[in-house]
Chains A and B, each alone.
Chain A
Amino acid sequence: MSRKITDEKKAEGQKLLAAAPVTHPPAVVPDSLPSVPALTPEVNKQTPAVGQRVARPDIRTHVTGTTRYIDDLSFPGMLHCKILRSAHAHARIISIDLSEAGNMPGVVATLTGDEVPVNSFGSTYKDQPVLAADRVRYRGDGVVAIAAETEQQALEALAGVKVEYEPLPAVFDPLEAMGPESPKIHRNNNVYTSKVIARGDVDRGFEESDHIFERRYTTQMIEHVPLEPFAAIALFEPDGQLHLYSTNGRITLGRADLARTLNVPMNRIRLTATIIGGNFGGKNEIRTEPILALLAKKTGRPVKAVYTREEEFIASTTRHPLVMDYKTGVAKDGRLLARAVHLVLDGGAYASWSETTVGKAAILAAGPYRIPNVRVEGHAVYTNKTVTGAMRGFGAPQVAFAYESQMDEIASSLGMDPLEIRMLNGFDEGSASHTGQTLQAVALKETLLMAAKRSGWQEVGR
């Protein structure tokens, strides 16, 4: 199938290029479809603007491949950084020997955790190191960073790093990690954040119920899988301003984290993003930025790091697996009278966004239903696994799986239509939520009826 490019063809190509007018793309692509002038959607010009299907300005650059993502940027003299990650799920670091790695071809600088001015960060608790210095708590913990002329050279230099570890007992199951005998990962208690929502009296509610339903539901660890891996570049502007380009979705917070970890005033740090190639929660914290800033300072050159797809899995955050115990008391006409929920979140090696996740999961756990007696308890527990953090929904998808599964079980047991039982119990305008809040703009039942209508739910005569 291959065609050799002859001198003749080369000359033809040059002629075509010379002949083509500047505004047209080179007409050398054999195509079944002709080019069309670029269009400016008329809808973008209409008023009022709200409610219009306005075409996004960046879609033009997306479809022409000209959108600039962070990895598309490069600067003269730029170095490439790779990070060596822990060889154990839980271990003490005894020593790090960079003598061989530091002298390998192309290596310009190395970095370890003790060189980071303030080696801790985190969205709630500052319990995560920029680079692990004395202890690793999961296999994704970065230990050494190397900056070299090419990515390949940086990777090869990682193999020359010698780290001596003293392995520690590790725990991977969150229920086990809650126990007093379990290995401790940070403090004396692996349970690091808890939330309680309580309203009414669940015990009395269960007594008044005609039926009780109990079930455990569990969900798995999920990864965001943004198509674009995390990428960042650090460089110093001529006036000494530290400039970070990053796929970070929260630059205000990111700048604060950089200021803190580098011990630099905020106005001396500039953090810019372009467009992120998918976030879903996994790019809402600093990752390599402080490392790159320190390497840029050491080398006097721009330094870039791009996560491999494997690093996206093992060294970025993931969705919390949940173990959810639901006990619900129901009257014989289908009204929910009481609900008790116990949630255990696999909180990974570091806290990240777990407090928010526990909080949201607990607040939402009882479902969008009017229930007079509710008690929800949620706990996040450290384990020596990948850090669990922000991911689209923050616990809501997990608890919705539980409460909506149980709703169908209840309906089935009582011989009720699943739509009917939800309409019976669902929130209305002005209903009180389980935290006592008066809800406004409540459209739950409208969505139930709309989806039912669209799918022909009632027509199937359930």
Chain B
Amino acid sequence: MKRAGRGIACMWYPIGFTVAANPSSAVVKVNEDGTATVLTGTVEVGQGSLTVLGQIAAQELGVSADDVHVVSADTDVTPMDTGAIASRTTFVTGNAVRLAAAEAKATLFEVASEMLGVEPEELEAVDHRIRAKTFPEKQVALAEVAARAQIVRGRPPLGSASFNPPTVPMDPETGQGKPFATYVYATQVAEVEVDDETGEVEVLRICAAHDSGTTINPALVEGQVEGGIAMGIGMALEEEILFDADGRQVNPNLTNYLIPTSLDMPKIEVDLVQSYDPVGPFGAKGVGEPTLVPTMPAIINAIHDAVGVRITDLPATAEKILMAIKEKERAEVRQLGPA
């Protein structure tokens, strides 16, 4: 018989390397037509980092995402980057990009200042224009400023910068210190159905609420949450590398190491909780890894809610669940005493 259950789990996860320096650097060039090119040493791994970095540069320069082209992943051409790891790209590389864009923008402001007769500190870049903050009618097209900067004034708008998250070393005896600049938080609620005759679990629905600071691109964050949940389901229920007595992997293939398919996925509802981290670019933090962290305990807690067994050894395969159910039934019978 199928029994329904629901479980909740929350988590925290840090952004960046543990104490150690993990800088990123970037170069931003504003071209003569007001479009921009970003150089970054990070490597796109599928999460959409290049898109996000482009959006950060665009935001800083007051242009749109289409106006920014991001070049990456070449040690001869792009400046150093510690790597797309530890969910640090939006936060660390993003800050490097933002700072580099700000430096290029400073050149634009100096040239615009001459054109408008307004001090550079009084200017802002918004919607493809450079204008006076407190008197927006005094404005000039950013493209015009960029052209003038390079062609007339001989000062191409170019910026380069690096960023490293601020941390405090940890005491070797007690671990006290500030290992990370910031953390993200998340909660997932899982609804499952457990067949108490076979031990099989179907995950029906997961409600995921994730904090990633300011959300730079909601579609990409959702993608990370959905993908992370898939990994979490695999880890909770079916994935395991098995070894024989001689240290040989028994199932080094996708026939016998099972990852979730399209048929294994539940309905996923994602809520992006907004918070603002003063250190992150425009308040953003990160999201790459946290997405699978609450999934396993949410499912395990839901299984307990459904059939009253607690699996403490992952993965919670059907065999384990069934054995635990049977053991629980036997224990209940024992408690009732001999007939």
Tell me if chains A and B make direct contact, with any CB pair below 8 A: yes
Binding site for B on A (CB under 8 A): 40, 44-58, 88-90, 138-139, 170, 172, 195-199, 215-223, 225, 241, 248-255, 269-281, 283-284, 309-310, 313-314, 318, 356, 359-360, 362-364, 367-368, 376, 384-386, 390, 392-394, 396-397, 400-401, 403-405, 407-409, 412, 418-419, 422, 426-427, 433-437, 439-444, 446-448, 450-452, 454-455, 457, 460
Q: Are A443 and B211 in contact (CB under 8 A)?
A: yes
Which chain B residues in 135-186 approach chain A with CB under 8 Å? Answer: 168, 170, 173-180, 182-186
Smallest CB gap from A412: residue in B? B304
Smallest CB gap from B24: residue in A? A252
Closest 7 CB pairs of A and B: A89-B247, A250-B83, A404-B297, A313-B252, A197-B175, A49-B58, A450-B209
**29 pairs from A and B in contact (CB 8 Å cutoff):** A47-B64, A49-B54, A49-B63, A54-B65, A56-B220, A57-B54, A89-B248, A219-B314, A225-B254, A249-B84, A252-B80, A270-B75, A271-B74, A272-B73, A280-B45, A363-B180, A367-B11, A368-B185, A385-B243, A392-B231, A396-B289, A419-B8, A440-B277, A441-B275, A441-B276, A441-B283, A446-B275, A454-B189, A454-B209
Q: Are B271 and A215 in contact (CB under 8 A)?
A: no
Residue B321 lies at the interface, judged by CB distance under 8 Å to chain A: no
In the bound complex, residues from chain A placing their C-beta under 8 Å from that of B259 are 225
Q: Are B73 and A251 in contact (CB under 8 A)?
A: yes
| Smallest beta-carbon distance B280→chain A, Å | 8
Residue B29 lies at the interface, judged by CB distance under 8 Å to chain A: no
A66 to B249, CA, bound (A): 35
In the bound complex, residues from chain A placing their C-beta under 8 Å from that of B14 are 360, 363-364
Which chain B residues in 11-51 approach chain A with CB under 8 Å? Answer: 11-14, 17-18, 41, 43-46, 48, 50-51
A283 to B48, CA, bound (A): 17
Smallest CB gap from B61: residue in A? A49
Q: Are B241 and A386 in contact (CB under 8 A)?
A: yes
Smallest CB gap from B84: residue in A? A249
Q: A51-B216, A455-B6 are in contact. Are A313 and B241 (CB under 8 A)?
A: yes
Binding site for A on B (CB under 8 A): 6-14, 17-18, 41, 43-46, 48, 50-51, 54-56, 58-59, 62-66, 68, 72-76, 80-86, 126-128, 168, 170, 173-180, 182-189, 191, 205, 207-211, 213-220, 228, 231-232, 234-235, 239-241, 243, 246-249, 251-254, 257, 259, 269, 271, 273, 275-278, 282-285, 288-290, 292-294, 296-298, 300-301, 304, 310, 312-315
A312 to B270, CA, bound (A): 32
Q: Are B249 and A386 in contact (CB under 8 A)?
A: yes
Q: Give the residue among B127, B186, B214, B259 with the most A Cβ atoms within 10 A.
A: B186
In the bound complex, residues from chain B placing their C-beta under 8 Å from that of A48 are 59, 62, 126-127
Q: Are A441 and B257 in contact (CB under 8 A)?
A: no
